[in-house]
Amino acid sequence: MTSISSANGYILIVLQMLVNTASSIVFKLQSKIKIDNQEFNHPFTQTFTMFFGESICYIIFLLYKSFNYSKYLYELELANKLKQETKINYLVVIIPTLCDLIASCLAFFALSLMPTSVYQMLRGATVVITAIFQVIFLKKVPTKRQILGMSLVVLGNLIVGITIYLKSTQSDYLIGVLFLCLSFFMFSFQVILEEKYFRKYYLNPFELVGLEGLWGLVFTTILLSILEFIPCPSQMQSGQQTIQFFQVVFSFHDKNYQPQLFLLIIAEATSILLLNSICMAVVKYLSALTKSVVQVTTIALVWITCLIIGWEKFYWGQLIGFIILVFGSLIYNNIIKLPIKCLEQQQKVESQQSKSETEELLN
């Protein structure tokens, strides 16, 4: 792992927290913007903007390849030693892209129907679906520690979800939860496919993200062209005038709100690009565990921000559920080591296996 100074490490961590929080706030702000008295509830357009931000990552990959060509050749040589394929048919990226497209649309629908902090907290349950898919497709059985962590994550999510359901005034809250749960399956399947690709092929992370962004732009452009002629469901309209799914994005009649929406769309694409770049840097220079801990911490920052803005109210049940969720995530990622005999023995075995794999890779 490439080393950096502790100061720069802290800067990366802070940047990941701030950009992650900002992206969540930007997504929610978009749904609060009105054009001709119509609320901007258009997850398909938000997904298009997200893919645009991801596609720029491919430009970053090309720049890296150009300015670090000798290092790139060394990585290819290393990939050959590890028996990884160095040439990939870009068509295989279509499947995870479609998973990302469906998952993102469902998630943006869910975000428009629930508080932002609850959306972030419930997304922690993705780890459970991913673990199930790992058993089915990758034959990776979770350890007792991971099962304990996942159980606590599920318990925390249940407490948060039930608390907000009992307090919520949004009639569509349960629909939002359903959409979010469906997005977990698509997102988890995408993660499993990407893991299989990283095992089989040599792929720079920016290359994979960029390719998914480019394919995503193709599919969302086709989708939005079709939606141009389909009226929005009544639940997605706040005014009396019937509008189409995509028409509202290019409606420049309202001078008071449209510039704000345009700026938020630019902010969304920028935040996606920055978030992908910073997360890659955190994994490269610090660790994947650090990235996971920062993501959990970001949930608290998003919640605090929403409370300060006045978008949400404080509930003790949500706080208790959040604490259990965080505790479960930290156990799952082996950051908190519980003094339980069977878990301690398993942790020693895992540590020894990880050390052996690292030595083998270095050799």
Handedness of CA 63, 64, 65, 67 (dihedral sign): positive
| pLDDT for position 348 | 57
The confidence score (pLDDT) of residue 102 equals 95
For residues 38-54, average pLDDT: 83
How high is the mean pLDDT of the chain? 80
- Identify the pLDDT of residue 350: 55
Mean pLDDT of 219-233: 80
pLDDT at 233 over 50: yes
Domain boundaries, the chain: 6-332
pLDDT value, residue 84:
85
DSSP 136: I
Whether 233 and 254 have beta carbons less than 8 Å apart is answered as no
More confident residue, 232 or 306: 306
pLDDT of residue 353: 52
Whole-prediction pTM? 0.81
- Report pLDDT for 288: 59
**Is residue 360's pLDDT more than 50?**
no
Secondary structure element (H or E) that encloses residue 333, with its range: none
C-alpha to C-alpha distances, 240 to 6, 38, 39, 105, 269, nearest whole angstrom:
56, 9, 12, 25, 31
By residue count, the chain amounts to: 363
pLDDT of residue 357: 46
- Tens of pLDDT, residue by residue over 275-308, are 888 877 776 667 655 666 777 778 888 999 999 9
pLDDT tens-place string over residues 68-83? 888 888 888 888 888 8
Q: Has residue 245 got a pLDDT over 60?
A: no
Closest to 53 (Cα-Cα) out of 119, 100, 94 = 100
Which carries the bigger pLDDT value, residue 261 or residue 304? 304
CB 313 within 8 A of CB 329: no
Q: Residue 90: name the closest of 64, 67, 61 by CA.
A: 61
Q: Is residue 58 a contact partner of residue 207, using CB atoms and an 8 Å limit?
A: yes
Q: H-type helices in 39-93, by residue range?
A: 43-67, 69-81
More reliable by pLDDT, 336 or 327? 327
Quote the CA–CA distance of 282 and 276 in Å, as a whole number.
Answer: 10
Residue-level pLDDT at 358:
40
Greatest C-alpha distance within the chain? 68
pLDDT score of 100 more than 50: yes
Of 157, 110, 162, 136, the residue nearest 329 (C-alpha): 157
Q: What pLDDT, on the 0 to 100 scale, is given for residue 256?
A: 47
